[in-house]
Amino acid sequence: MKQRRFERVVVLLDSSTVVGDAGVGFAASLLGADGYMTLAVSISGPEASGLREFADAEEVSISEAAELYLEQVAERLGPYRVNTSTLDGTDLAGDLKAVVDESSADAAVVPASLAARALEHKTLSFPILVVPDELTAP
């Protein structure tokens, strides 16, 4: 079976877990050589706990912590064209829809830990690919 390729993918990250960026590798496998990836992270909700801890330890704002986290993940992506987005996170499903629309993405990759919140009460016009926890656990 041939795997579908996308031109633009949004990857939702979960800073509350060490495997919160595992969807990046999966998303990279979905992109062609000239694909675009938008990394997105929420600065509120339970998924932002890692960012809050980092911000407190480094005495920076949570927005600055989010920017640093996104930069670190983006640096590991090599040849892909990467954009980043910081989400408010109070309406994660709405925020995800907005970033997909803004980036003209074909799909979104979401960790299983955030799937319920990312899909909550929304009718979405793009595929959501959920990365199962058992595939990302160390």
Tens digit of each residue's pLDDT (9 = 90 or more) over 50-106: 999 999 999 999 999 999 999 999 988 877 789 999 999 889 999 999 999 999 999
User: CA 71 to CA 118: how far, in whole Å?
Assistant: 22
pLDDT at 134: 61
Within a domain: 96: yes
Q: Report the pLDDT averaged over residues 5-12.
A: 93
This prediction's pTM: 0.90
Within a domain: 49: yes
Q: Residue 41's domain is classified under what CATH number?
A: 3.40.50.620
* Percentage above 70 pLDDT, the chain: 92
Residue 87 domain boundaries? 6-122
Q: Which residue has the higher pLDDT, 123 or 129?
A: 129
pLDDT at 136: 46
Within a domain: 37: yes
Within a domain: 41: yes
How many domains in the chain? 1
Within a domain: 35: yes
> What residues does 8 pair with on adjacent strands?
36
Within a domain: 1: no
Within a domain: 130: no
Please measure the distance between the N-terminal and C-terminal CA atoms of the chain and give it in whole angstroms: 28
User: CA 121 to CA 49: how far, in whole Å?
Assistant: 24
Within a domain: 134: no
